Amino acid sequence: MREPIRPPLLSRVPVWAWVTADAGLALFLTTVFLGLATTRNASAPDLIDYAGALATGLPIAVRRLWPRAVFVIVLIGGLGMREFFVPHVDPFGLSLALYTLASRTRAVLALFAAAAVAAQGVVELPLTATVRDQLGLVLAILVAAWAVGTAVRQRRLYTERLAEHAEERARAEAAEERLRIARELHDVIGHSLSTIAVQAGVAGHVGGAEEMGRTLASIEETSRSALRETRRLLGVLREDGESDLAPAPRLADLDVLAERTRAAGLAVELEIDGEVEGEMELTVYRIVQEALTNVLKHAGARHVRVRIERQGDGLVVEVTDDGTRGPARPYGHGLTGLRERVQIFGGEFEAGGRSPRGFRVMARLPL
């Protein structure tokens, strides 16, 4: 069994744990800011000083829940606290709020606003080397916070798109597999039941016990063959790999298929001059099987000719009968399934009536 793919470690941390950590950080920053407002104030702190300290620190606790509102509050609160910082700008809460906002949405305007507030607090005339260094440091911190947040957001979007693409691909593969199994079940069950129905109809009109016994034996063999192939298909659907899978039909099994069809009262002429392997061999078998099924069900024919011949760089599979003309026959999904099988290999498929009577199914598969 494959080990399930696990998300990154940080994404497995529950939201309440992050909120708890942010709350602890917010309390710490608020305590620091209140201390700065008390120790670095030339006079006793007033209500505005305490409000600035609280507005700059406490909103950090909910920065993940309301990043835009937290950024605005911290930006305004920092205006009242910047006289207690050196340089005169909040490098902690503002950069953290900017990072959070950039990790959620495009925050270019927020970056400009934070940079403008920082520059207004740091820049003093005359513009000394110390002022330039402080301004460069503060701007570098803000740009770094914004860049890291933007990178996190882009990474999250990329991961989500990869997950969506993988899900779409999985759905497409599942749909393709369902279609393949549906074609297999149609070919297996359709042919076997048609053969059994014809043989059962014949059995009702035969008079001798010996001929009746041969017909019933043929019905039994056809039923067992259909059961084996159905078990093989169902085994493909098992995930534990413990099912005893029967091998897929091959060209060598066409003799048995022709013999069962003959037992249903249809003369079958089989000519094989070419070899293929793998999935193409199963496709060739299914083409012949479906064509013989249609002849039994719809054609009212007495004779059918199956020809498998290698021509140049391709393999030609042709099934012709002497029954009624094709346009008058009611066909279901069988020929459509055969056309899809052939198109998988880039081959050509034709099916239609032939003159003066009968029907022809032809497939050319490139080798």
301-327 confidence digits (pLDDT tens): 889 999 999 888 889 999 999 887 555
Asked whether residue 249 is assigned to any structural domain, the reply reads no
pTM over 0.85: no
Asked whether residue 234 is assigned to any structural domain, the reply reads no
Q: Residue 357 belongs to what domain range?
A: 265-367
Distance (Å, whole) CA 130 – CA 123:
10
Asked whether residue 193 is assigned to any structural domain, the reply reads no
Whether residues 157 and 282 fall in one domain:
no
What tens digit of pLDDT does each residue of 8-38 get? 566 667 778 888 898 898 899 888 878 877 7
Whether residues 154 and 31 fall in one domain:
yes
Asked whether residue 288 is assigned to any structural domain, the reply reads yes
Residue 84: what residue type? F
Whether residues 152 and 287 fall in one domain:
no
What tens digit of pLDDT does each residue of 27-76 get? 998 888 788 777 766 667 777 778 877 888 888 899 988 999 999 988 88
Domains contained in the chain, number: 2
Asked whether residue 329 is assigned to any structural domain, the reply reads yes
What is the CATH number for 269?
3.30.565.10
Asked whether residue 228 is assigned to any structural domain, the reply reads no
Whether residues 148 and 270 fall in one domain:
no
Boundary (domain end) residue, out of 148, 164, 180: 164
Q: Is 307 exposed, middle or buried (0-12, 13-18, 19+ CB in 10 A)?
A: middle
Whether residues 159 and 292 fall in one domain:
no
Whether residues 15 and 157 fall in one domain:
yes
Boundary (domain end) residue, out of 109, 136, 164: 164
Asked whether residue 47 is assigned to any structural domain, the reply reads yes
Q: What percentage of residues in the chain have a pLDDT greater than 70?
A: 71
Whether residues 30 and 152 fall in one domain:
yes
Asked whether residue 51 is assigned to any structural domain, the reply reads yes
Given a cut of 70, is residue 215 above it in pLDDT?
no
Boundary (domain end) residue, out of 164, 182, 211: 164
